[in-house]
Structure formats: C-alpha cells, structure tokens
Amino acid sequence: MMRNFNLEQVSVLANRFDIDGSVTDISPFGSGHINDTYRVLTNGDKVDGYLLQRINHHVFKNVPAVMENMQLVIHHLKEKYKEAGDQGMHVEKKVLTLVPTGESTPYLVDETGNFWRMLVLLANTQSYDIVETPQQAREGGLAFGHFQRLLSDLDVSRIHEVLPDFHHIGKRLDKLNQAIASDMVGRVSLVSAELDAIKRRQRRMHTILDLAADGLLPVRITHNDTKFNNVLLDMQDKAQCVIDLDTVMPGYVAYDFGDAIRTIINRAAEDEADLDKITLNMPLFEAYASGYFEEAHHFLTPEEVGSLIEGVLLLPYMQAVRFLTDFLEGDHYYKVHHVDHNLQRTRAQLRLVEQLEVHEAELKGIIDRVVNRYQ
C-alpha cells in the first residue's frame, strides 16, 4: 500500500488545490489508521491553513461516492446551522469545509492513482485520544447527538453505503472465519485464546441485528466512526466540530453510541499493552450519556434507547474481531506500528468487553437515570 509520500510530492499536490497564498510548511498530521493526512500552511491570510488527505482507496473503493456523501452532509449541516441563526465564519468553524480543486471534482487523482482532498484547517481546536474530564465527555455526547439530530431530516436514501455492512457483526464474523480457514500468514495458532473469547460471546452480539430484523430500529444517518478524537473541541473544551465524515452512512444509533463509549470509558488507549490498565471510568460514561441525551431525547424511540447498551458491548467486540481479522490476514487494512500491533489491539478491546460485561448493570442504571430526566 502506498504510504509516506515525500513532502515535495505533497507540496505539488497542495498547489493543485485552490489555496490562498503559497505553501510555507507541510507536515504529517493526526493519528488515523486508514487515510494519510498532512497539515499545509501557507503565507495567505484567509484561513489558518489546510489539511491535505490521501483517501485510502483500498478501503474506500468508491471515492467519488465518499465525496458525494461528504458534500451532501456538509451542505445539509451548514444549512441547518444557518437556519438556526449562525452565520458566516461561525458556521465555517462548526462544519468542515472542502477546498475547491479547479476541476469538476472535489478531489484530485495523482499520477499513481491516489485520491486527494483538501479541508480548511480549524485552528485553536484540540482532540483527545483519551478523555480526561467529564466536561470533555459531555461535550462529545452533545456533539454526536447534535450531529445525528441535524441529519435526522436528510433523506437516508441519498447517502451511499460506501462501506457495505460496515457494522454488520455477522458479516464481520464470517470474514474472521474465512481468515482462520485460509490462515494466510500462519498466525491462527497464536490466537486461540482470543478466538475462544470471540466465539463465546457471538450469540449475544447479534442482538442489534435481531432487533433490526424485527423492524424495531429505524435506519438513520449515523457517523459510524465516533471515536472521541473525531470531535474537535475549542480551547475551553467546548465541542466545535465533528470531523472524519468518510463513514457517514445509514446505520443504527446504538453503533455510534457504542463506538463513542468504547473510546471514552476506557482509562487506557485503544491498543494498551498492559491489560490491567484497561478499566472503566464511569463518571465519563455518565457525562457522555448526559450530553448525548440532551440532544437525542428529541428523536430516539424507546427501542433505540434500549439498544444503546448493546452497542456499548458490541462496538469494542466488533473492533476486536476486525483487528484480529487483519492480524490473521497479514495487517493490510490498519496501519500498524509493530509486528503484533493488531493482536495487541485485539487483546485490549477484548479486555474492554470483559470489563463492560462485569459492569453492565451499573451502565444500564446510568442510562436509565439519564433517560428518566426526559420522561
């Protein structure tokens, strides 16, 4: 897979976008596992800089569809903010802005077939891989709740399912089983404990799919990558902008809730090697749930509320299944920083599932308490 472009190549690409001024600095940016991101500074004064991103087309096989979704979502969000009375730069800071290319597409293709897009950099913002305070968690809940709420009147059928069955646990388990059967890189014998842990929990993890099959869960437009670091906070830790819109697709709200909690409730990193550090921070859970419900009580159905706890258990489990599948296939999906990285991530996510199971009653109690405020 093509990675690590030299900065000269990136600079040439940056200049093909409609940027203000000329490039003064380029550096790699962020901690994404899929796309490559560079921060581009210029001597222009209209904006604070840009983010140039190579969209990984091995993962996102239909980049034009990804970009159509992104444009539609951005347009809709900006209209909603304007309707609510937020004008000008204000809106530009709350919603991502794509930089025009001078061609008919909002992305460019380079001579080796890589896809690139550019966004306006939002300066004076911060994101956290590990949440530190209840205020941050609450702001995350408000941000993702508001995001879903603003998109609730956009017709779901207009959004492409750019990664089909992205959160379909049945399909994810099928893929894991195929990876076990072909054992392409001879690693299956190393992971029997992890496979046991996954098999044991399989049945319950289908609950959301079962509810959906019974027609009990509405399909909404969801973000599908609600890691906490996909919310930009301002310097006072107020939520400013939801980022990483690649995976905005039709989905169930429990997936977004669960993926956010996966990264908020864990006192340790997603790939923590010392499993004893993986413990639950309940006040952060309550704070996220409070923020989320403040927005989401306007549209959630009782069945959706009931499904949220299932999302909390499912998302770290699904992440473990995905990391393990990639480990068994030879690490070609996620960027890895060392040879066992995907295995380490798998173990960390499985430990998180274990912790969540132990504290399930407490988690449900917190959700009930928060929901009751609105009844």
- Rounded to a whole number of angstroms, the minimum distance from the CB of residue 18 to ligand GN1 is 26
Under rule CB under 5 A, residue 270 binds Mg ion: no
- Rounded to a whole number of angstroms, the minimum distance from the CB of residue 246 to ligand GN1 is 6
Under rule CB under 6 A, residue 59 binds ligand GN1: yes
Q: How many CB atoms lie under 10 A from the CB of residue 332?
A: 11
Residues counted in the chain: 375
Q: How many CB atoms lie under 10 A from the CB of residue 243?
A: 20
Which of 16, 33, 206, 297 binds ligand GN1 (CB under 6 A)? It is 33
Nearest 5°: the CA angle 191, 311, 142 is 130
- Contacted by 207, from ligand GN1, Mg ion, none: CB < 5 to 8 Å by type: none
On whether the CB atoms of residues 245 and 74 are closer than 8 A, the answer is: yes
Rounded Cα gap, residues 151 and 149, in angstroms: 5
Under rule CB under 6 A, residue 32 binds ligand GN1: yes
> Considering just the CA atoms, what is the radius of gyration of the chain in Å?
21
DSSP type of residue 266:
B
- Rounded to a whole number of angstroms, the minimum distance from the CB of residue 242 to ligand GN1 is 12
- Rounded to a whole number of angstroms, the minimum distance from the CB of residue 318 to ligand GN1 is 9
In the stretch 194-233, what mask flags binding to Mg ion with x, by CB under 5 A? -------------------------------x--------
Residue whose CB is less far from Mg ion, 73 or 287 = 73
- Rounded to a whole number of angstroms, the minimum distance from the CB of residue 301 to ligand GN1 is 25
Report the run of H or E that residue 108 belongs to, with start and end. Answer: strand 108-109
Amino acid at 95: V
Structure tokens at 53: 């991103």
Query: Which strands, in side-by-side order, build the sheet including 231-234?
Result: 125-126, 231-234, 239-242
Rounded Cα gap, residues 78 and 71, in angstroms: 11
On whether the CB atoms of residues 290 and 370 are closer than 8 A, the answer is: yes
Site for ligand GN1 in 316-375 (CB under 6 A): 319
Residue whose CB is less far from ligand GN1, 35 or 307 = 35
Site for ligand GN1 in 222-281 (CB under 6 A): 225, 227, 244, 247, 270
Residue whose CB is less far from ligand GN1, 229 or 290 = 229
Residue whose CB is less far from ligand GN1, 34 or 195 = 34
Binding site for Mg ion (CB under 5 A): 225, 244
| Residue numbers at the binding site for ligand GN1 (CB under 6 A) | 32-34, 59, 225, 227, 244, 247, 270, 319
